[in-house]
Amino acid sequence: EKQKWCIHQSLYEFHGFWFTKAYLETTKRVVETFKPLPTDVILASFPKTGTTWLKALLYSITHRSPHDDTVLTLNHPQELVPSLETNLYVRKRDGETLLHDDVAKKGRILATHAPHQILQDALNSCDCKIVYVTRNPKDTLVSLWHFLQKSKEFEDDPWELEAAVDQFCNGIVPFGPYYDHVLGYREESLSKPHKVLFVTYEELKENPRVHVKRLGEFLGCPFLGESGEEQAEKIVKLCSFEVLSNQEINKSTEFPDSGFPLPYNSFFRRGEVGDHFSCLGDDMIQKIDGVTTLKFHASG
Ligand code: A3P
């Protein structure tokens, strides 16, 4: 099934989720060929829920070095933690898939926006760890709306906020429905807590140190003793929106190698909780709240 999404692009349905043509192709390739290793950490998320932040955090937590703070000053988080469907399983011009040797080694962290319902066979094929981050749906939608407004694909066709709210509520946005995406990983985290850790953007914002330590524990690299506390605090600071968004590499207007249609600086905007109040009207808020209650009520 195909639905017109903006003037230039349609979204395509695949197992109940919606994809742009390019992501449909790469997601199918991921589903067909990706084989996680037991040592992998998979960062899963719906777009705009804090993926970039978690990329920086997971990399820092697992590669922590008390003497080297430079990795996040020299590399965009997207380079440190590649995404399966946007960086790795895209085809190069010669038609070859880009899953190169250095990501086929132990201890890799790989990100994906693919829903659990689609990727479950691969994810359940071994004991890899999964961290899923999610965010308040209204802030997620507002972040997505700003992000896509900047995309070249929308140049002659502004995505009206009202249309965006409707499409978000109906689930017809890239990798949507958001609600099914969240529930897929949520259910898995409840039935397999040793394998899937479910984190929210809001709880990380409210108490980052506690959740950085929780992530360390889950990934088998806990922060122990006084020096552990200091390390956790240092990681919180280095990965904070204020510090990360001001790194030259992250302010760059260059485009990532993968052919992604937006520059590096587009992954950092405001980084706040509750930003939807700045642009959603009461009727829009009510509409999204209604759908959220309907979809999430049963799961608590
Ligand atoms: P806003 O558009 O609300 O500012 P993703 O990485 O999944 O694409 O999500 C992007 C959102 O996370 C953007 O939200 C971005 O500003 C925010 N973000 C990026 N880095 C962050 C950080 N270190 N701390 C908090 N939020 C961050």
The distance of Cα 143 from the centroid of its chain, to the nearest Å, equals 12
* pLDDT, greater one: 98 or 137: 137
Helix (H) or strand (E) holding 284: helix 282-296
172's tokens: 């017809």
> How remote is the CA of residue 293 from the centroid of ligand 1, in Å?
24
In this structure, are residues 87 and 79 in contact, taking their beta carbons and an 8 Å threshold?
no
Question: Is any atom of ligand 1 closer than 6 Å to the C-beta of 270?
Answer: yes
Strand partners of residue 12 = 2, 19
Q: What pLDDT band is residue 107 in, cutting at 50, 70 and 90?
A: confident
* Rounded average pLDDT over 168-192: 97
Among 201, 89, 74, 66, smallest CA distance to 143 is for: 201
- Is the pLDDT at 9 greater than 80? The verdict is no
Helix (H) or strand (E) holding 29: helix 21-33
Put simply, whether the predicted model's pTM sits higher than 0.80 gets the answer: yes
119's tokens: 């990727």
* Rounded average pLDDT over 265-274: 96
Among 271, 105, 131, smallest CA distance to 196 is for: 131
Distances in Å between the alpha carbon of 242 and those of 64, 238, 247, 271?
A: 20, 9, 9, 9
Total number of domains in the chain: 1
- Is the pLDDT at 93 greater than 50? The verdict is no
Among 146, 161, 111, 178, smallest CA distance to 272 is for: 146
- Is the pLDDT at 101 greater than 50? The verdict is no
In this structure, are residues 43 and 134 in contact, taking their beta carbons and an 8 Å threshold?
no
Q: What domain range is 111 assigned to?
A: 2-299
* pLDDT, greater one: 93 or 184: 184
Atom of ligand 1 minimally distant from the CA of 49: 7
CATH number at residue 230: 3.40.50.300
150's tokens: 């900047």
Question: Is any atom of ligand 1 closer than 6 Å to the C-beta of 175?
Answer: no
In this structure, are residues 240 and 272 in contact, taking their beta carbons and an 8 Å threshold?
no
Question: Is any atom of ligand 1 closer than 6 Å to the C-beta of 53?
Answer: yes
- Give the Cα separation of 113 and 30 in Å (integer): 11
What pLDDT, on a 0 to 100 scale, did the predictor assign at position 89?
72
Distances in Å between the alpha carbon of 249 and those of 79, 152, 217, 254, 284?
A: 11, 21, 30, 9, 36
Provide the mean pLDDT of the chain: 90
In this structure, are residues 70 and 81 in contact, taking their beta carbons and an 8 Å threshold?
no
Does the model's ipTM exceed the 0.90 cut? yes
What pLDDT, on a 0 to 100 scale, did the predictor assign at position 269?
96
Catalytic residues: 113
Q: What is the DSSP letter of 79?
A: H
> How remote is the CA of residue 300 from the centroid of ligand 1, in Å?
26
Characterize the bridge pairing of strands 109-112 and 196-200.
Answer: unpaired
Helix (H) or strand (E) holding 140: helix 137-149
- Is the pLDDT at 223 greater than 60? The verdict is yes
Q: What pLDDT band is residue 240 in, cutting at 50, 70 and 90?
A: very high
